[in-house]
Amino acid sequence: MKKILIILFSILLFTANIFSQDVCKQFEDIDKCGHANPFNKINFRENASTTNYDIIYNRAYFKVDPAIWYISGTIVSYFKTRESSIDKIVFDLSDPMQVNSVIYSGKSLSFTHLNNELTIQLSETINPNTLDSLSINYEGAPPSNGFGSFAAETHGASSIPILWTLSEPYGSRDWWPNKMSLVDKIDSIDIYITCPSAYRAGSNGLLVEETSINGNSTYHWKHRYPIAAYLVGIAVTDYSVFTNQVPMPDGSNLEVLNYVYPENLGVSQTQSEQIIPIIQLYNQLTIPYPFAKEKYGHAQFNWNGGQEHQTMTFLKNLGQSLMAHECAHQWFGDYITCGSWEDIWLNEGFATYFEGLTQQTYFPNIWKVWKSSKLANITSQPGGSVLVDDTTSVNRIFNSRLTYNKGGYVLHMMRWVLGDEVFYQALKNYLTNVKFAGGFAYTPDLINEFEKASGKDLTKFFNQWYYKQGYPSYNLKLNHDPKTSTNSLQIYQTQSDPSVNFFEMPVPVQFFYGGKDTTLVFNHLFSGQEFNIVISDKIDSLKFDPELWLISANNSITTSTNEVLQNDGTVELYPNPGSSEIFINSSTDNISQIRLVDLFGKEVYSSEINTKGTHVNTDFLSQGMYIILVNIDNKIYSQKWVKR
């Protein structure tokens, strides 16, 4: 959801400055603000008071005027009791809203409305696994929490009123009574929106009827797919309407219904054509658009980004990058929804990466720029996990650096580790798994699909990149021996955050030699690991990770093509054998570098200096023979040394 629109390749920069209210005003549930908080658990999935029933169907009647910050309505809820009998039922509804009546079997029920919960006392006990229904009549001026759960503004030079909703993550209760859950989707919903006839109303599903009477129009939208409460949305203004048609794999056409501001009609009609290849690409990479029996659509609104309401995205404009991001959510976020806000990367990481895949496919000249911009943002700070460690903070849930960009790049690295064929097959398996297709999933569910498709244990990969923090920095040291015409490469690594001791990744390096080049991939298992290079020519230069597959930063390359000379007395080294210390002196110029390697070629010590004499403490070394390499004026002198 919620892709904030920034020009220049749509880099997401959710910062605290974006929000006009402080955290307490944005999100009234946070304990530190002193408010009641039924949703402060890190793994919030649903209000504990609403776990005794499932929502089967909603029929929602909303009456609004976009010139007025107000809503009134009736919500008919069909519910099924779970495993125990119930004599009361609870819905989530913010305290500022007024409940006028609750009707059950033609009779009014008593209720209390406190701490953002509407508790209804049933007139009789309902048995387990029983389908029943009731109606809630309500009205009020909704609060606007999170990213603006309810808004009434204007657009255009004539200041035409517009009203919209944006419920993610905790805002659906601000404007209608519902079950705010990441466990239980509404199986189907009918939405009736009544507004002054000067306006049109957009929502989820298919528009099946428009009626007008006494200066008001009612729009009936029918949606017959499971939907999370936060993905229900309405938008009302003087929309101009046009459609696009997307050829689908089965030979049918998918309607893309566009509701745009009249003043933007021309440019929107031109921009909207880009949605056709976007949906076709997603169909090819994953599964056909999951709501194909209804529609896909766009409704323009003032918020500076987009929100992926199921089958009808609300967005600022129809720019390619924004459309690509929000459309991807129909697969990742809507069809399969994260089962906890801790797992929000399953929505946003995917949408970010698929936005990038449209760049790779249709704009290859900026694909590398897109990747570079994401890497720069990810590595702009040393820590932070993709896993959301504070789901009470809206800003943390939707952190652009971690949830969006790092989450998306983790998928990019997974593709690198598994290869395209396995990666995309795993995604298809994920989207068709009956355990969560059309429902909710968690990060271990996705990991399991990657492991089944690849046959690999990916525990270490996700521990490093999802659960823990930081990124690696690589130092590559290329050595060439002109006597034997052989090359070797040592790869060192440091980490930006102590939560990870070492990032195990296949490391690609491009080598240039004799007017040719080749890229080799090294299975990097420990820092300082040395690899023989199967290139007999002298290597002119090399490039680390040329296609930007890895999250890394502050990388460096050192090349040494100097002949290794036997010590001719230029270097004085004592004592030899020794125990805890070596003294090293030069009889000519200053020493620039000292390296110690064991008999297996592994570097055990390295130091950059600029002096004629120094000493090295060797207490950390085990007994045995070592080679000491001393660089003086770009000549490397070697001498054996024994640790006693």
Q: Quote the pLDDT of residue 482.
A: 72
45-229 placed in CATH 2.60.40.1730: yes
Instruction: Over range 488-513, report the average pLDDT.
Output: 96
Neighbours of 554 (CB within 10 A): 12
Residue 441: pLDDT band by 50, 70, 90 thresholds? very high
pLDDT digits (tens, 9 = 90+) for 603-618: 789 898 999 999 899 9
pLDDT of residue 23: 30
How much of the chain exceeds pLDDT 70, in percent?
A: 92
> For residue 233, what pLDDT is reported?
98
Q: What is residue 633's predicted lDDT score, i.e. its pLDDT?
A: 81
Give the residue carrying structure tokens 């701490």.
Answer: 115
Confidence of residue 20 (pLDDT cuts 50, 70, 90): very low
What is the per-residue pLDDT for 42?
53
Residue 41 sits at φ, ψ, to 5 deg, of -75, 145
β-strands 440-441, 337-338: how paired? parallel
User: pLDDT tens across 31-47, in order?
Assistant: 223 233 444 445 578 89
Computed from CA positions of residues 421, 422, 423, 428, in that sequence, does the dihedral angle turn out positive or negative? positive
Of 134, 125, 88, 96, which Cα lies nearest the Cα of 113? 96
Integer Cα distance of 393 and 411 in angstroms: 24
What is the pLDDT at residue 600?
60
Burial pattern 103-135, b for ≥16 Cβ within 10 A else e, equals ebeeeebebebeebbbebebeeebeeeeebebb
Domain boundaries, given as residue ranges, for the chain: 45-229, 347-467, 472-560, 564-643
Secondary structure of residue 375 in the 3-state scheme: helix
For residue 571, is pLDDT > 80?
yes
Say what the pLDDT of residue 644 is.
87
Q: pLDDT value at position 41? A: 47
Give tens-digit pLDDT for 95-138.
Answer: 999 999 999 999 999 999 999 999 999 999 999 999 999 999 99
Strand locations in 31-180 (E): 53-63, 71-81, 86-92, 98-104, 107-108, 111-114, 117-126, 131-140, 150-155, 160-165
Instruction: Give 353's DSSP letter.
Output: H
Domain 347-467: CATH architecture, name and number where available:
Orthogonal Bundle (1.10)
Residue 341, both tokens: 């806000």
Q: Which two tokens mark 151?
A: 């808004």
**In 606-630, which positions are buried (b, 16+ CB within 10 angstroms) versus exposed (e)?**
beeeeeeebebebeebeeeebebbb
- Mean of pLDDT values over 493-498: 96
Q: Which of 634, 606, 401 is nearest to 492 (CA)?
A: 606
The Cα 59–Cα 78 span in angstroms is 9
**Looking at the predicted structure, is the pLDDT value of residue 24 above 80?**
no
Rounded to whole angstroms, how far apart are CA atoms 399 and 394?
Answer: 8
How would you label 445-459 residue by residue, b for 16+ Cβ within 10 Å and e otherwise?
bbbbbbbebbeeebe
Are 347-467 and 472-560 equal in CATH topology? no
Interhelix angle 407-418/443-454, nearest 10 degrees: 10
Q: What does the pLDDT read at residue 151?
A: 98
60 contacts 51 by C-beta, under 8 angstroms: no
Q: Under CATH, to which class is 564-643 assigned?
A: mainly beta
Over residues 255-274, the pLDDT tens digits come to 999 999 999 999 999 999 99
In the predicted model, is pLDDT for residue 439 greater than 80?
Answer: yes
Q: Is the pLDDT of residue 584 over 70?
A: yes
Instruction: Give pLDDT, residue 165.
Output: 98
Q: Which of 478, 473, 516, 527 is nearest to 497 (CA)?
A: 473
The token pair at 189 is: 């919903």
Residue 181 backbone phi and psi in degrees, to 5? -135, 145
**Of residues 192, 184, 72, the one with CA closest to residue 138:** 72
Instruction: Provide the pLDDT confidence category of residue 560 given band limits of 50, 70 and 90.
Output: low
What's residue 558's pLDDT?
84
Alpha helix locations (H) across 80-219?
none
Give me the mean pLDDT over the 304-311 stretch.
97
Confidence class for position 1, pLDDT limits 50, 70, 90 = low
Rounded to the nearest 10 degrees, the angle between the axes of helix 275-285 and helix 320-328 is: 40
For 503, list phi and psi in degrees, rounded to 5.
-95, 110
Mean pLDDT, the chain, whole residue set: 91
Note the pLDDT of residue 5.
Answer: 45
- pLDDT above 90 for 370: yes
> Is a pLDDT exceeding 50 seen at residue 494?
yes
Query: Omega before 169 cis (within 30°)?
Result: yes
pLDDT reported for residue 8:
32
Q: Is the pLDDT at 566 greater than 90, yes or no?
A: no
Which of 556, 560, 640, 557 lies closest to 596, judged by CA? 640
pLDDT(281) > 70: yes
Task: State both tokens at 235.
Answer: 């938008």
Cα separation of 407 and 386, whole Å?
6
Written as one letter, the residue type at 344 is I
Q: pLDDT tens digits for 201-230?
A: 999 999 999 999 999 999 999 999 999 999
Q: State the pLDDT at residue 2.
A: 60
- Minimum mean pLDDT range among 181-190, 447-456, 596-605: 596-605
Q: What is the mean pLDDT of residues 470-498?
A: 90
Which own/partner pairs from 280-284 qualify as long-range (CB within 8 Å, at least 24 positions apart)?
A: 280/246, 280/247, 281/357, 281/358, 281/361, 281/362, 282/327, 282/328, 282/331, 282/354, 283/248, 283/249
Fold (topology level) of 472-560: Immunoglobulin-like (2.60.40)
Cis peptide before 546 (omega within 30 of 0): no
Measure Cα distances from 58 to 190, 348, 375 in Å: 6, 27, 43
Q: What is the 3-state secondary structure (H, E, C) of 186-209?
A: ECEEEEEEEEECCCEEECCCEEEE
Side-chain half-sphere of 413: how many Cα atoms within 13 Å? 24
